[in-house]
């Protein structure tokens, strides 16, 4: 899925006169693009009803279009990433915000991060329980504090101090996630898990019980990239566990000189392999395309190590690649002038 549009400069080079009010005004012809994901995992068509599939596709499209509208009206890639992610955070279908998975202790602990490719400014929150939109709190940390990451009670106190509306943790409850927790706990308890083996035991759970996350990457008409990620983490995670999603370089990365990445998958591997930053480093220092770099990291580095998941990646020309090493990944992209394209399974 590669697309390069001729920019306004092409028209000027060709000496074509373009009136500012014309539908072909240069400002309207700049390349912009957005891509999103709603989590990777064991997602199979045979296990999904047609109604559920269309609900997922519709919500992915809505999120893409929310981000696209921001870009179309010359908004920033940061605003577009926030707009797209918030649609998914407020939907019970995805593991972020409203649809977040439960910890072993039956609570929700949410993580999110955002990065600006122009400035390499970044903001992140980890383990927040009472903030409706963790991605917007991550943005506040980036723009309104000298820090990159705030966690737990400190992050919530910061949110309150900035007038963010606090909600009850039960706001994030859903029956589906509760059932997933109950099943996961049954399995863990049957194994009579010792504390030291806890993560290993969580690893034995079927992937469908434990994964999900949402994210977005965007290129705006000013030529700036941004990336953001928001998650409830992994089902039955130990309280206090933090995955890759709020970690800059692991789950989220953006730099105009290389690419923007948002990841989803088994966070411990994404942290240890520094996945998002590694992909962009291969682009920047080895001159690889985003597709080559992302394929290498997802299929040749992560998979042999046992790390399952996927990434969405965009370069500074609006090219997009969306590789994953699981059976499916909720995903989509939309480029300037094009239609929203969404996919769920391996073949679409
Ligand atoms: N990466 C997330 C985490 O480990 C989970 C996921 O994307 O499925 O917390």
pLDDT tens string for the chain (348 positions)?
433 333 333 333 333 333 333 333 344 448 999 999 999 988 888 888 999 999 999 999 999 999 999 999 999 999 999 999 999 999 999 999 999 999 999 999 999 999 999 999 999 999 999 999 999 999 999 999 999 999 999 999 999 999 998 999 999 999 999 998 998 888 777 776 655 455 555 666 665 555 689 999 999 999 999 999 999 999 989 999 999 999 999 999 999 999 999 999 999 999 999 999 999 999 999 999 999 999 999 999 999 999 999 999 999 999 999 999 999 999 999 999 999 999 999 988
Atom nearest to 270 CA in ligand 1 = 1
Indicate the angle between helix axes 77-89 and 134-144, nearest 10 degrees: 150
- Residue 100 located in a structural domain: yes
Report the greatest alpha carbon distance in the chain.
Answer: 75
Minimal-distance CA residue to ligand 1 atom 4: 267
* Ligand 1 within 6 A of CB of 123: no
* Ligand 1 within 6 A of CB of 180: no
- Residue 62 located in a structural domain: yes
- Residue 227 located in a structural domain: yes
Say which DSSP state 102 is in: P
- Residue 3 located in a structural domain: no
Q: How far is the CA of 290 from the centre of ligand 1 (A)?
A: 22
* Ligand 1 within 6 A of CB of 252: no
Give the model's pLDDT for residue 220.
98
User: End-to-end CA distance of the chain, in Å?
Assistant: 13
Give the model's pLDDT for residue 18.
31
Ligand 1 pocket: which of 97, 151, 231 to mutate (most atoms <8 Å of CB)? 231
* Ligand 1 within 6 A of CB of 308: no
- Residue 91 located in a structural domain: yes
Atom nearest to 267 CA in ligand 1 = 4
* Ligand 1 within 6 A of CB of 103: no
Q: How far is the CA of 287 from the centre of ligand 1 (A)?
A: 29
- Residue 19 located in a structural domain: yes
Strand partners, 123: 114
Answer yes or no: 252 catalytic: no
Give the model's pLDDT for residue 7.
32
| CA quadruple 319, 325, 331, 333: dihedral, nearest 10 | 10
CB atoms inside a 10 Å sphere around CB 287: 9
Q: How far is the CA of 102 from the centre of ligand 1 (A)?
A: 13
Number of domains in the chain: 1
Q: How far is the CA of 326 from the centre of ligand 1 (A)?
A: 13
- CATH number, domain of 210, equals 3.60.20.30
Domain that holds residue 222: 9-345
Give the model's pLDDT for residue 209.
57
Q: How far is the CA of 178 from the centre of ligand 1 (A)?
A: 18
- Residue 275 located in a structural domain: yes
**E strands in 50-148:** 110-116, 122-128
- Residue 1 located in a structural domain: no
Question: pTM for this structure?
Answer: 0.90
Catalytic residue chosen out of the listed positions 213, 229, 264, 326 = 213
């Amino acid at each position: 899925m590669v697309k390069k549009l001729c920019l306004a400069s092409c028209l000027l080079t060709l000496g074509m006169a373009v009136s500012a009010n014309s539908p072909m005004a240069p400002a309207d012809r700049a390349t912009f693009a957005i891509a999103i994901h709603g989590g990777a995992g064991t997602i199979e068509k045979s296990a999904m009803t047609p109604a559920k599939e269309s609900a997922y596709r519709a919500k992915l499209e809505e999120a893409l279009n929310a981000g696209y509208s921001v870009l179309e009206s010359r908004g920033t890639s940061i605003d577009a990433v926030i707009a797209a992610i918030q649609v998914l955070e407020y939907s019970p279908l995805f593991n972020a915000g409203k649809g977040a998975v439960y910890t072993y202790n039956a609570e929700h602990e949410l993580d999110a991060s955002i990065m600006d490719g122009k400035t390499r400014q970044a903001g992140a929150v980890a383990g927040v329980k009472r903030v409706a939109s963790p991605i917007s709190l991550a943005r506040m940390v980036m723009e309104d504090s000298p820090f990159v990451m705030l966690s737990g009670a400190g992050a919530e106190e910061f949110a309150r101090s900035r007038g963010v509306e606090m909600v009850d943790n039960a706001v994030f409850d859903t029956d589906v996630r509760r059932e997933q927790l109950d099943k996961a706990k049954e399995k863990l308890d049957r194994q009579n898990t010792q504390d030291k083996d806890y993560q290993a035991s969580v690893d034995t759970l079927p992937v469908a019980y434990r994964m999900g996350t949402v994210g977005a990457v965007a290129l705006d008409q000013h030529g700036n990239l941004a990336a953001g990620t928001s998650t409830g983490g992994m089902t039955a995670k130990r309280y206090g566990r933090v995955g890759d999603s709020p970690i800059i370089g692991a789950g989220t990365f953006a730099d105009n000189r290389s690419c923007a990445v948002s990841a989803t998958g088994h966070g411990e591997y994404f942290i240890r392999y520094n996945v998002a930053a590694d992909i962009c480093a291969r682009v920047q220092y080895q001159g690889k395309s985003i597709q080559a770099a992302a394929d290498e990291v997802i299929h040749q580095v992560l998979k042999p190590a046992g790390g399952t998941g996927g990434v969405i990646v965009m370069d500074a020309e609006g090219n997009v690649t969306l590789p994953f090493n699981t059976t499916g990944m909720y995903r989509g992209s939309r480029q300037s002038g094009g239609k929203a394209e969404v996919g769920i399974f391996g073949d679409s």
